Amino acid sequence: MRVAEVVGRVLYGHGARHVFGVVGSGNFHVTNALVAAGARFVAAAHEGGAASMADGYARTAATVGLLSVHQGPGITNALTGLTEAAKSRTPMVVLAPEATAPRSNFFIDLPALAAAVGADFHRVRATHAAEDTGAAYRAAARGATVVLGLPLEVQQAVTEPWSGPVPAAAPTPVTAPQIEPLLAALQAARQPVFIAGRGARSAREPLTRLADACGALLAVSAAAKGLFAGNPWNLDVAGGFATPFAAELIGTADLVVAWGSTLNMWTTRHGELIPPSAVVVQVDHDPAAFGVNRPVDLAVAGEVTAVAEALLARLGVGISGPGGATIGGWRTPELAQRIRDHGRWRTVPYQDEGGGAPATIDPRTISAALDDLLPADRTVVVDSGNFMGYPSMWLDVPDVAGFCFTQAFQSVGLGLASALGAAVARPDRLTVAAVGDGGFVMSATELVTAVRLALPLLVVIYDDAAYGAEVHHFGPDGHPLETVTFPETDLAAIARGYGCDGLTVRTVDDLEPVRHWLAGPRTRPLVIDAKVSAARGSWWLEEAFRGH
């Protein structure tokens, strides 16, 4: 059996069921081996799109994503999406053929490339093909983006046949987390807040029970939006996307516990959200993450679920102070009512800035209208740009798997392809891709892929005819903006040219065709070109630019 076939079989044996990519000579045989084993190959229009599809698939399906590309330019075309995945710690394996001859046109220093973007690197050897491939998959499953080097000559080498079984992973030594200082902090707190991040996405149940035991309010970083959906003590996203009421409550906390979150500038509003008097605790499985963005008073090493369950085992029903009084006293019926009344952006009043000639629609207004119109069982995928807070704050999601936030590298143009991967992962849900006009134009070629797959995908373009972030960053200082503003373009017509349904929206009434599309059969994507008002920039982006 040739090594390329072994690699494909081993990956399938470990659980790989979808592979995204663009096939060339270097990855032809390994991709076909995966297909022959039973995996589904999703052909993208461009390797950059394929990388984002694999990323979006892995995040939404909570499994390892697989990307297959050509040697040399195939991997460099995928580099931006690969960097986003690595920075997000997306579990993903990149099948990267290697031209090892330095004088080959296709030669690149693949290990150095992987290291430069923060990805792990593994290489398949002819005599250890199954072992090396399995090790790469297991590393990805533990939370890494892995570039798997496949030297061309090694792929063609003949080796021992492989048909399984999948070798068992060596057990990881488990050390009991040191919870005593955190236990004491929880016992002392009267107004605790939990902020759960990307590293806590699988820990809803133990964190919810722990919060109930100690009277904590619940919040998340943007990467974990939806984790506590439906919980009456959920404040939703902390940081720049926080409602005024959520920011007020977090600002009065006496204990903030970050679960799998590094409390970056987005989550803390450059440190201003968390009061200086609060005790700040960080729980993370990676000690290197402690204090990377701000000082913490206490660091607890361990998996989020393990730490929460260890605390619960010590606490029993609840935390009791002197005389048996329950600790964490700010969970009152009155506060629960205030969270219901003021805890969502839909309840925050605003001055509608739509209108004009030609008419534009306020991005908050269209987001709220879509939230009412679309089914609750949805996946929302958000690209980067000035617009990104509107869908993130006004579109509810049913759970943490329903939100995909492509912001780790802050690259414009990854959202559309990421949404395709998410749609493949969860065909039972409506996938909504929220993009700006700049990001849409960068990635529109993947509409070809969406049409080929007949995906029931809704693409919402927040179209301000500009790179809005730059307009609102530099415009107030009087800088010329001709390089970042553009004539109005009929993006709905472009979408129709790719085979999608296309709709231009300037008022809420223009959304009526969406209702008919939702009724079915939804055999091709619908692209909404929303001509949004752009009188001012977003407040969250103003905060972000302070960190540049």
Q: How confident is the model over 212-254, as pLDDT tens digits?
A: 999 999 999 999 999 999 999 999 999 889 999 999 999 999 9
Q: What pLDDT, in 10s, does the model give residues 367-401?
A: 999 999 999 999 999 999 999 999 999 999 999 99
Average pLDDT of the segment spanning 289-305: 95
Where is 187: in which H helix or E strand?
helix 180-188
Query: What distance lies between CA 329 and its chain's CA centroid?
Result: 34
Give me the residue label for tokens 């995909």: 404
- The whole-angstrom separation of Cα 22 and Cα 126 is 24
Average pLDDT of the segment spanning 41-58: 98
* Residue 248 contacts residue 225 (beta carbons within 8 Å): no
Lowest mean pLDDT among 221-225, 321-325, 343-347: 321-325
- The angle at the Cα of 104, spanning 103 to 105, to the nearest 5 degrees, equals 115
pLDDT at 152 (0 to 100): 96
| Maximal CA-CA distance, the chain | 78
Q: What is the mean pLDDT of the chain?
A: 93
Q: Which two tokens stand for residue 451?
A: 């049409």
Average pLDDT of the segment spanning 473-478: 85
* Residue 259 contacts residue 288 (beta carbons within 8 Å): no
pLDDT at 221 (0 to 100): 96
Query: What distance lies between CA 50 and its chain's CA centroid?
Result: 16
Beta-ladder partners of 96 = 149
- The whole-angstrom separation of Cα 51 and Cα 421 is 9
How many other β-carbons are positioned within 10 Å of the β-carbon of residue 519?
A: 8
- The whole-angstrom separation of Cα 285 and Cα 306 is 10
Q: What pLDDT, in 10s, does the model give residues 93-137?
A: 999 999 998 899 999 999 999 999 999 999 999 999 999 999 999
In the chain, pLDDT over 70 holds for what percent of residues? Answer: 95
Q: Which residues contact 304 (CB under 8 A, 6 or more apart)?
A: 196, 199, 200, 203, 206, 207, 259, 260, 283, 284, 285
Which domains are delineated in the chain?
A: 3-156 (3.40.50.970), 176-343 (3.40.50.1220), 350-546 (3.40.50.970)
Strand-strand pairing, 192-196 and 378-382: unpaired
pLDDT at 420 (0 to 100): 98
Q: What pLDDT, in 10s, does the model give residues 397-430?
A: 999 999 999 999 999 999 999 999 999 999 999 9
pLDDT at 534 (0 to 100): 85
Q: What pLDDT, in 10s, does the model give residues 431-441?
A: 999 999 999 99
Q: Which residues contact 301 (CB under 8 A, 6 or more apart)?
A: 177, 178, 284, 285, 287, 290
How many other β-carbons are positioned within 10 Å of the β-carbon of residue 426?
A: 18
pLDDT at 325 (0 to 100): 35
pLDDT at 328 (0 to 100): 53
- The whole-angstrom separation of Cα 380 and Cα 38 is 29
- The whole-angstrom separation of Cα 37 and Cα 110 is 27
**pLDDT grade for 539, boundaries at 50, 70 and 90:** low
Strand-strand pairing, 526-531 and 457-463: parallel
Strand-strand pairing, 526-531 and 120-123: unpaired
